A and B are shown apart, each in its own frame.
Chain A
């Protein structure tokens, strides 16, 4: 198989326009003959479903939550980037493109990233028109802030709830289409399988989470917008329902999975308190604008933070990265925190934490200013930890947060299965080996509002509508398999709970395939994952029946997939013999412990093909061509 990214010819700045001009269109009268299945109603899915419905297609939209408004995108806090250059500080499409390519450590496709930067401005206009209440200044103009270490202010925000507001905008558009009858909603439905007929994606099989009924839905194309898989680590900042099931099962039906080892660890999360913990909470990155990160200089310093005098503190980010200091990129800050904790200098219970100290900022700006800036975050911190961050430093620690890897897609966001389009965090397309803050929302909405609605027409224009129906052999087989898998889980009647297995898997991955990886740790993980999986298959306890709401069964299905997927992730990490972005291999570091890329051998996308249960997946490589930027070493010193 050769991977053709189908990048349009011509200069970078004209590629997207060119592609749009070349594309086939579907006539308005014909659109209603096509049925499109959209799985996921986060930013990417909701925006796509709404726009496709608006264009006149029949859309079926699925999500596992009780309402499309609850997609995990709702949790995004910080903001969304766009190359509007409203503040006039030198931003441009070109600069956003460069920052994103550089941020991704030169492991993403130029053409995709450039298009993303191009349409970014339209997203803001669209959101404003929908009534998204972005922050404004006193003159009534949109306000911007600088985010995640960017040197320009290009981040638009709505208090600390940007994801919520953007999602509610998209959800509103979706609800409008539901009312108009172009979109049919299927909440509390979990996709269990992709149905491929004659090599084309023609539908999905889902389980109704309320009645337990397993049914299929046929269409002329399928869009997956099912989010990321950070929950493979068990503890992450993702919603607890986030899963890899939809994309992983599409992978098993022939879609390639690209760069699964690119997982982003966010530096500012509230540390783990105990085994009971079910998820980790992100503290917005913007806190690093005013807070200073430190740990005691000495290992056995058990004094209260306030009692530790300046000379006994180590402001390690400022020390190591004087130019960026506390604003160093996510991967770099996370690793630095892990390092000092590994040295035994971590703080708080368990020693996995570093201080994020606002004393200086409070002294300089006054408590009131800090309260205005971060009041809600300090409150959230207090609610969770019972500590007052105005009086004592916050404790933070890195946590799995975002996954750059995902199903492989070409320029049109089409996977290797024709008719299967993948959007948002579920695809691998734009962030390379590391994503910049405030760029995921941008990508999800770009995919859903402005890209897929065009590119899908090109596919549909070549497809006869309505050829698939759920009585076909492929659909029947898919339902039977899904039902059998469910039945199997229910019949094990083991002793250990699903959470128990998930926790074990998560810990294994976090320790061995987390922030830093080595051949040794990866091999250890590869050895142990099959064991956990085997035990799961024999000893998991899934109570209840398949005929009604059964949350343990839902979890079991997801964890079963994580247990297989974890191996793929680890294999990918092992195969990538270099350090790049969030993927850090301790064998590949510069003398001062920074990531060392190997552009000669690894300037490619690693896309994995499923070869059958128990068989080795096959690695395919898409070479990345850089025609417009020069590959450079990321330097944040």
Chain B
């Protein structure tokens, strides 16, 4: 029963590489183009800048990855993040809570809201798109009620470390981001929960018949998502040194985009990181090239679609070449 390896030419290897690299390749392409177009691009300051800019979205995208891998969807993450930032600010500013206590409470509320999403989707069987759309509005309403739609400024200096601090030359948010990537990757690859999420996302019936706890897995992935986005919201508030009621609205869709651009379905959180970095470097490139802010949106929209198309195209090409 021998398996004959098909002869591997240079072409084969090239295409395999293409397939393996995935969206990292896009980053390389952007980097090469930018190196020749702008002398400000290839500097460590600029790279650190990009990392700092993507940190918040990537922290949220880790949680979003789990929900999408598990066959779910979450539109409420942006609002959930914003809410966490505002809650922390309110607790510190208006109620005089200590920084750690305020952060813990704000993150806890984020986890509760994520869990609610999970419960509604799993037990009431509301489609995730609708359930989390509803949740998005509910949270937005709560934010306006609690903050009166006004920013909460003047937060303690020790709180601002999470968004503005540095360890050496590395910004603290980047360190937090890397910790989240590592945690996400370990959970996905090395825990029963990670396995269950992938199994449930792929074939819920088979997962149930294999004795996995499908319902708990589904609820827990939304809870974990709530945890990640709330943490992202804290970092964002810290970076702005303010609880901004209208700050994180875009985050939900950016996170989802990152998951698709990066091709997280291949089963790795590293892909989510790549997807977020594509976004970050693209933004950075457009800024350095002085593209008008309004046009930037148009270009970014095209990039999302193109990246996913490119991914399909690349996979097909690689498969075809290997045959």
Partners in one complex: no
What residues of chain B have their CB less than 8 Å away from a CB belonging to chain A? none
Residues of A within 8 A of B (CB): none
